[in-house]
A and B are shown apart, each in its own frame.
Chain A
Amino acid sequence: MHYNWDWGVFFHSTGIGSEIYLDWFVKGLGWTIALSLAGWVIALLLGTVLGVMRTLPGKVLPRIAAVYVEIFRNIPLLVQLFVWYFIVPDLLPEGLQTWFKQDLNPATSAFISVVLCLGLFTAARVCEQVRTGIQALPKGQTNAAYALGLRIPQIYKEVLLPQAFRIIIPPLTSEFLNIFKNSSVASLIGLMELLAQTKQTAEFTANLFEAFTLATIIYFVLNMGLMLFMRWVEKRVRVPGLIALGGK
């Protein structure tokens, strides 16, 4: 293959003000990070609540959480995004609908759709991990907490969740990385995150290879960084004298 690599292309002007192509990637990365972190906050909070619900005594709450998981886990992410972006707004009451479709900046309304989509999708997966983490704990821990007079919310907050989260840090790390990778679906509804900026740069400059190589490197470095960060977290919360919790 004869291809003249031109890495200087990123420093060429885009023709818009004093902007260079590299600026597009920086902006795109900004959107990617914002989308993923906002989605992760929803996923972690909602996923934890659902995971707890799945392990509660009784029938109704565990079942509601189970149904949630099946719905959000069994429909492709992209389909879910289209539902959130194209269908759900039409179902909103009139006032909200106009606000979402007309008053909001198009980038903002797309952002809201993607964050909801990523957050709710990932919550189903986080839920299952939180549930497994709780169920991996010996039943005696719950009994001991009950025997001391703690009430159910206290038992989860003080005894079960702190242990469960330490156990599930490794699979939770995968979900955390997945949400960054999954955020690229936003490019399909025109939100200018990293992948969309890459495609745009490729189209504008015809330097397809350079653009996608740079995007690949950015995604890789970003995810490696996140993984190392999570490893550091895992080490920090490790319990002295305990091998089973907090990883190797």
Chain B
Amino acid sequence: MISIKNVSKWYGDFQVLTDCTTEVSKGEVVVVCGPSGSGKSTLIKCVNGLEPFQSGDIIVDGISVGSPKTDLPKLRSRVGMVFQHFELFPHLSITDNLALAQIKVLGRKEDEAKKKGLALLDRVGLSAHAAKFPGQLSGGQQQRVAIARALAMDPIAMLFDEPTSALDPEMINEVLDVMVQLAHEGMTMMCVTHEMGFARKVANRVIFMDKGAIVEDANKDEFFGSPRSERAQAFLSKILQH
């Protein structure tokens, strides 16, 4: 479904991604972790072309992200993305946030789009808030709306870029619950996250990055049981200490 091949990226002289290669198959849940500045967010943003890369290629559902001929907006409309800071559109009601891209990008009728949005809002447990504006919701609620907004486009895969990092601790679980449910339904997911509990519960594979390179790419049990690289061992021992 998503195949990342030898991707490298530079900001000027500074190399942020070094020869990254990995694969996410259909229905697979892959967690990307690593210390801050290791390039995880940059890598996931390359997958839907939000960040350009200078060498290598990424193929999403048979389409090359790096090719200048690719209709990126069209490709993006098929891949859902959830951001650290939610990025709901603050001037639009929750209903309109959910309907906007369905109408403008997929050409759905307004009532159809709203109906679909409401159904997804119900699924994330927020149907009572349809008429509110993002600023009137808590962070956890906003993030659940953001997930619903991405799902409304019927994506073939979902990308999560640190979806719980900006949340108060008590709101993290409500977002993770939605993500776990999605994983169980068979959604293809690539998640940049530090939530190792989530990774343990639903991930098929864990990718560990450091200094722009993929250091470890292993199935979950192997990663948590006996990480091969020292860097990953050190990272795990630090974050799993408590």
Contact between B74 and A149, CB atoms less than 8 A apart? yes
Tally of chain A residues near chain B (CB < 8 A): 24
A159 at the interface (CB under 8 A from B): yes
Contact between A245 and B91, CB atoms less than 8 A apart? yes
Contact between A239 and B77, CB atoms less than 8 A apart? no
B17 at the interface (CB under 8 A from A): no
Q: Contacts A146-B50, A149-B73, A150-B73: A240 and B83 contacting too (C-beta < 8 A)?
A: no
Instruction: List 3 A-B pairs, minimum CB-CB distance, nearest first.
Output: A149-B77, A241-B135, A144-B87
Interchain CB contact (< 8 A) of A148 among B77, B90, B136, B137: B77
Within 8 A of A (CB), among B179-208: none
B48 at the interface (CB under 8 A from A): yes
Within 8 A of A (CB), among B41-56: 45, 48, 50
A163 to chain B minimum Cβ distance, whole angstroms, is 5
Within 8 A of A (CB), among B134-187: 134-137, 146, 149-150, 153
C-beta contact mask, B42-80 vs A, less than 8 Å → 1, else 0? 000100101000000000000000000000011111111
Contact between B133 and A143, CB atoms less than 8 A apart? no
How far apart sit A51 and B109, CA to CA, in the bound complex (Å)? Answer: 32
Complex interface: chain A residues within 8 A of B50 (CB): 143, 146-147
How far apart sit A151 and B106, CA to CA, in the bound complex (Å)? Answer: 12
A76 at the interface (CB under 8 A from B): no
Complex interface: chain B residues within 8 A of A166 (CB): 91
Q: Which of B3-11, B21-29, B97-105, B218-226 binds A?
A: B97-105
Contact between A144 and B83, CB atoms less than 8 A apart? yes
How far apart sit A188 and B106, CA to CA, in the bound complex (Å)? Answer: 56
Closest to B81 in A: A147
Contact between A150 and B101, CB atoms less than 8 A apart? yes
Contact between B132 and A240, CB atoms less than 8 A apart? yes
Tally of chain B residues near chain A (CB < 8 A): 35
A242 at the interface (CB under 8 A from B): yes
Q: Which secondary structure dominates where chain A touches chain B?
A: helix
C-beta contact mask, A185-212 vs B, less than 8 Å → 1, else 0? 0000000000000000000000000000
A138 at the interface (CB under 8 A from B): yes
Chain B interface (Cβ < 8 Å from any Cβ of A)? 45, 48, 50, 73-81, 83-85, 87-91, 100-101, 104-106, 132-137, 146, 149-150, 153
Contact between A239 and B81, CB atoms less than 8 A apart? no
A135 at the interface (CB under 8 A from B): no
Complex interface: chain A residues within 8 A of B74 (CB): 149
Within 8 A of B (CB), among A138-185: 138, 140-141, 143-151, 154, 158-159, 162-163, 166
Contact between A149 and B105, CB atoms less than 8 A apart? yes
A-B contacts, 16 of them at CB < 8 A, read A140-B87, A143-B87, A144-B81, A144-B83, A144-B88, A146-B73, A147-B150, A148-B77, A148-B100, A149-B73, A149-B77, A149-B106, A150-B104, A150-B105, A240-B133, A241-B136
Contact between B100 and A149, CB atoms less than 8 A apart? no
Closest to A148 in B: B101
Contact between A146 and B104, CB atoms less than 8 A apart? no
How far apart sit A162 and B87, CA to CA, in the bound complex (Å)? Answer: 15
Closest to A163 in B: B91
Closest to B131 in A: A240
How far apart sit A141 and B88, CA to CA, in the bound complex (Å)? Answer: 8
Complex interface: chain B residues within 8 A of A154 (CB): 104-105
Q: Contacts A245-B90, A245-B91: A158 and B134 contacting too (C-beta < 8 A)?
A: no
Contact between A239 and B83, CB atoms less than 8 A apart? no
How far apart sit A150 and B92, CA to CA, in the bound complex (Å)? Answer: 16
Closest to B135 in A: A241
How far apart sit A243 and B150, CA to CA, in the bound complex (Å)? Answer: 26
B50 to chain A minimum Cβ distance, whole angstroms, is 5
Complex interface: chain A residues within 8 A of B91 (CB): 162-163, 166, 239, 242, 245
Contact between A239 and B133, CB atoms less than 8 A apart? yes
Contact between B105 and A148, CB atoms less than 8 A apart? yes
How far apart sit A243 and B153, CA to CA, in the bound complex (Å)? Answer: 30
